[in-house]
Amino acid sequence: MSFNSELKAYFQIVWRHKWLIAICSVAALAVALSLSYVLPPAYSATTTLRLSPAPGGVFDSSGGIWPTRLSNTYVEIANSGAVLDEVAGQLNLDSRPKVSAELVAETELLKVTASHRDPAIARDTANTLANVLIMRDPLFNKGTTPNASQTLEFQLRQAKADLEVAQAAYNAAVRASGSSDSTGASAPPSPQADELKRTVALRQDIYGDLLQRYENARANEQLRANALTVFEAADLPESPTSPKRPLNAALGLMGGLLAGIILAFVLEAMDDTLRSVEDVQELTALPLLGQVPDRRQQPLRRKGGLAAYADGRVPPESAYQQLRARLLLSEGIASPASILITSAEPGAGKSTVAANLSVALAEAGHRVVAMDMDFRRPSLNSILNLPKSPGITDILHRKHTLDEVIADTPLPNLRLLPSGRTSYVPPEWMTPSELGPLIRTVRDDCDYLVVDAPAYLSVADPTVLATLVDCVVVVTSLRHTERKHIRLTLQSLTEVRAKVSGVVVNRAPWSRLYAYYSERARRAGRSPAEKKTATL
């Protein structure tokens, strides 16, 4: 199957289930709107913070990794339970507030958003959370672990003490060796004093280096003390941010549409009925005698004693003319002949096919008798606008003769043998010995006898009737007849050795060909004034 064929098949599935999809869409839309109006409104307030992660470039030795990690750290702290509990405690809230923190891409901004039913609480929550984050700045708040300046300060004090001890030792050594010789000149320093002098110089260098590092550390910490600042405080929100009714309505509509389409395809997969004429041809090797277009959307009315559609036309006569031609040209069908019309299950339209086939045969000049053998649901008399009784049951009851119950119709060459009273039909009537002589008698008195039988799988009557007629026509209905039922019907007809001439597909897709001929027929029946008006 080509892509266009598959696409067309999918579209046909959606079109067949359009009402289901529409109902699902409307229902989902109604639910979404109902929830939007039922749910209480919520307000959101946002505080914007500015983060300066690396002033002076001292801590930015790893490029962009350190700022990114620091920003993500702030986000995690803002969403942590400890921070939320602290905010709830400061605002006397019964539960943790609903907050969210996010970074603004390619900036140094951090947005903290709080939501609450009370707009004032939403504003206060966002601002309080920002203040808590500033107080919990991870760059200088390390808990019990000393920071760089504290460590350097301790080392500086120790270095100063060491320097003072070395200086004192050196001074003592100098004084001890400070006696003059006999000429009055000062004595040279002792080796011990020289060693202490070098120690003092080393201690001074160490102290000076630590002092410089300490001052640098304090300067950096002073700069980083303002790394996180409030850029824009939250204001009192004027309108609720949720529920978002237009968005919810759109999502509900789209969700219902999608659910309806999925449900349509699920139902299509579960459907075992015949869906197209091709399905019928694949299911059976019997000839396709005719296709009757689907005209169920138009109500019936009476015209001239026969059933006609609301636009005044007999149901597509061209389809029944084709059925008549193919049936009469089929092998073994010669006048006089009896034709049984049945279907696998009720509701396939077999009675309509039987009535219109009878009309088509009569219009061709053949003497036709329509025989209603569907005692449980007789309908030929309604289609031909004739009474139901007396009829066949009265003949089998020996209350009337065949000549007394057979009735003429408004259409020449067409007579009806109605079902009669159908309150009770004894089983012994449905036997070849009872029905065989009656069918043969009626058939011999006309050219074609069209027998409307019950649905084949519903009762045993059609099985008996199929053995008494010259041919059987099986009516199928698209989107109604199930595959397994038509298989069982054809198998049973084969087993009783019935002569099945072919299959009629009822409710087939409307063909442009039928529309063309119907339009020509309608124009042909107009008066000259009507034709001129239609042309204009």
* 91-140 per-position pLDDT tens digit: 998 888 999 888 888 888 889 999 998 999 999 999 998 888 887 665 44
pTM above 0.75, yes or no: no
Burial of 329 (C-beta count, 10 Å sphere; 0-12/13-18/19+): exposed
Local structure of 113: helix, strand or coil: strand
Structure tokens at 40: 């209480």
Using the CB atoms, write b or e for 282-317: b if 16+ within 10 Å: ebbebeebbbbbbbeeeeeeeeeebbbbeeebbbbb
What are the DSSP E strand ranges found in 321-421? 337-343, 368-372, 407-408, 414-417
Structure tokens at 138: 């991870």
pLDDT tens figures, 452-475: 999 999 888 899 999 999 999 999
**Distance between CA 46 and CA 65 in Å, rounded?**
27
Per-residue pLDDT band for 176 (boundaries 50, 70, 90) equals confident
Structure tokens at 212: 């410089």
Nearest to 18 by CA among 261, 185, 330: 261
- In this prediction, residue 443 carries a pLDDT of 92
- In this prediction, residue 48 carries a pLDDT of 92
Tokens 């939250």 sit on residue: 234
pLDDT tens figures, 419-432: 888 766 677 777 88
- In this prediction, residue 37 carries a pLDDT of 86
- Alpha helix (H) residue ranges in 409-511: 432-444, 461-466, 483-495
- In this prediction, residue 24 carries a pLDDT of 93
- In this prediction, residue 534 carries a pLDDT of 34
Mean pLDDT of the region 129-158: 71
For residue 217, give every residue at least 6 positions away whose Cβ sits within 8 Å of its Cβ, in sequence order, or none. 148, 149, 152
pLDDT tens figures, 406-417: 999 988 899 999
C-alpha torsion sign, points 300, 347, 24, 31 = positive
Tokens 């309908």 sit on residue: 379
Amino acid at 386: L
- In this prediction, residue 142 carries a pLDDT of 47
Strand-pair category, 43-51 with 228-232:
antiparallel
pLDDT-above-70 percentage for the chain:
80
Contact 435, 410 (CB under 8 A): no
Nearest to 419 by CA among 444, 397, 441, 448: 397
